[in-house]
């Protein structure tokens, strides 16, 4: 008996075509359209399709992802053996990581998309959907958390990042690399991500807003003050190097920490935020002593996702947030 795999289509490049009145391609194709373009899927599984929205991934919201997580839980209870989410690539790493934090299921959850829309020669959407479904029916993928399957590579949501604006091999998982791949339609999984705490099924809170600010040379800190004044619930700072800031930005961050949770990540996108190396004003030692919370190895985008979900679950104390970032960012 073939397993049931549910494909949840959210739009994105994989679903885009030319449309009258538009200067470029826009989301047009439904989940049914995407599945019908890959007839081999019928040989692998019974495919269910769902199209809760059809938007570019830049338009997706946290509320959309909470709704997708709820839909997945419901379908899992009804007997679905796995899930494939198709969407635009711009926010895949954030969507996959949010689902990784929200879901604790013994079924695969795979996110995929395309870099070349269906009007292009060599469009990669059909191949990526086929590979994603092949991973979704693979028993070894059941306990790996959310996955991103792209270009015949299998990536953990905990590490994957988009690294190129247009190349089909855009997704990388530094420093580990992909946890597996597909070869001649066979799924090979050679690494298992370390188990991670799951935040569970907290409801989306529309009042929760987290800003992300990247620091630069001579930063005067005014954007930090403005974010607090604007009423943001939390703030993620992408600091210089190992987690550093100018003197003015450090002063602004100290003011911000007195009012909202502030998480310190690195703008480099690789490595961990340092904790005990540099001692100048605006160094990681100085900023952490002012009350900033270390993101550990999490980049700014993942830190923002984690902080948002924590605040939605009413984990608002600095101590609880710091403990969560310790679990997810350094362990």
Where residue 231 sits, what CATH number does that domain have?
3.40.50.40
119 labeled binding residue? no
pLDDT at residue number 197: 80
Residue 230 forms part of a structural domain: yes
Residue 114 forms part of a structural domain: yes
Structure tokens at 154: 């299998």
Q: What gap in Å lies between CA 292 and CA 284, rounded to an integer?
A: 9
Span 45-58, average pLDDT: 97
Name the active-site residue from 13, 86, 95, 112. 13
Q: Domain check: are 171 and 246 in the same one?
A: no
pLDDT at residue number 329: 87
Q: Which domain holds residue 219?
A: 210-329
| Chain centre to alpha carbon of residue 33 | 25
Residue 299 forms part of a structural domain: yes
At which of 140, 158, 189 does a domain end? 189
Q: Do 137 and 109 meet the contact criterion of CB atoms below 8 Å apart? A: no
Span 255-279, average pLDDT: 97
pLDDT at residue number 20: 67
From residue 198, how far is each of 98, 227, 298 by CA, in Å? 10, 29, 16
pTM recorded for the entire structure: 0.95
pLDDT band of 201, cuts 50, 70, 90: low
Q: Domain check: are 29 and 158 in the same one?
A: yes
100 labeled binding residue? no
Residue 202 forms part of a structural domain: no
Residue 261 forms part of a structural domain: yes
Q: Domain check: are 24 and 115 in the same one?
A: yes
The total number of structural domains in the chain stands at 2
pLDDT at residue number 246: 98
pLDDT surpassing 80 at residue 331: no
At which of 159, 189, 219 does a domain end? 189
Could you tell me what percent of the chain has a pLDDT over 90?
89
Answer yes or no: 277 catalytic: no
- Sort residue 145 into left (φ over 0), alpha (ψ -120 to 50) or beta: left
Residue 11 forms part of a structural domain: yes
Q: What gap in Å lies between CA 205 and CA 79, rounded to an integer?
A: 29
Q: What gap in Å lies between CA 141 and CA 107, rounded to an integer?
A: 8
Q: Domain check: are 164 and 256 in the same one?
A: no
Q: Domain check: are 70 and 173 in the same one?
A: yes
Q: Domain check: are 180 and 229 in the same one?
A: no
At which of 122, 155, 189 does a domain end? 189
Whether the link from the prior residue into 55 is cis, omega within 30° of 0, is: no
Q: What gap in Å lies between CA 257 and CA 287, rounded to an integer?
A: 10
Q: Domain check: are 127 and 247 in the same one?
A: no
DSSP-derived pairing of the beta strands 293-294 and 153-156: unpaired
CATH number, residue 165: 3.40.50.1170
Q: What gap in Å lies between CA 44 and CA 134, rounded to an integer?
A: 7
57 labeled binding residue? yes
| Nearest residue to 192 via CA among 176, 211, 213, 172 | 176
């Amino acid at each position: 008996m073939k397993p049931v795999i549910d494909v949840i289509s959210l739009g994105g490049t994989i679903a885009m075509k030319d449309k009258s009145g538009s200067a470029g391609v826009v989301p047009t194709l439904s989940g049914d359209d995407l599945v019908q373009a890959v007839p081999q899927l019928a040989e692998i599984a019974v495919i269910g399709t769902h199209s809760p929205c059809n938007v570019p991934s830049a338009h997706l919201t946290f509320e959309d992802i909470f709704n997708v997580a709820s839909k997945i839980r419901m379908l899992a209870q009804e007997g679905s053996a796995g899930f494939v989410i198709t969407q635009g690539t711009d926010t895949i790493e954030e969507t996959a990581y949010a689902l990784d934090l929200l879901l604790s299921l013994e079924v695969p959850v795979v996110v995929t998309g395309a870099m070349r829309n269906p009007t292009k020669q060599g469009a990669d959407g059909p191949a990526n959907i086929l590979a994603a479904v092949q991973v979704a029916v693979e028993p070894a993928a059941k306990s790996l958390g959310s996955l991103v399957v792209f270009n015949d590579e299998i990536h953990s949501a905990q590490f994957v990042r988009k690294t190129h604006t247009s190349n089909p091999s855009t997704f990388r998982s530094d420093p580990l690399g992909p946890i597996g791949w597909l070869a001649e339609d066979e799924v090979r999984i050679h690494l298992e991500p370390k188990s991670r705490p799951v935040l569970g099924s907290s409801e989306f809170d529309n009042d929760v807003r987290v800003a992300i600010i990247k620091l630069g040379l001579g930063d005067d800190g005014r954007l930090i003050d403005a974010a607090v004044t604007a009423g943001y619930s939390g703030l993620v700072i992408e600091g210089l190097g190992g987690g550093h800031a100018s003197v003015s930005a450090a002063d602004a961050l100290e003011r911000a920490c007195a009012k909202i949770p502030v998480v310190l990540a690195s703008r480099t996108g690789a490595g961990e935020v340092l904790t005990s190396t540099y001692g100048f004003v605006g160094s990681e030692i100085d900023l952490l002593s002012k009350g900033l919370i270390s993101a550990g190895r999490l980049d700014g985008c993942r830190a923002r996702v984690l902080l948002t979900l924590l605040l939605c679950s009413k984990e608002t104390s600095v101590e609880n947030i710091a403990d969560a970032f310790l679990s997810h960012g350094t362990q």
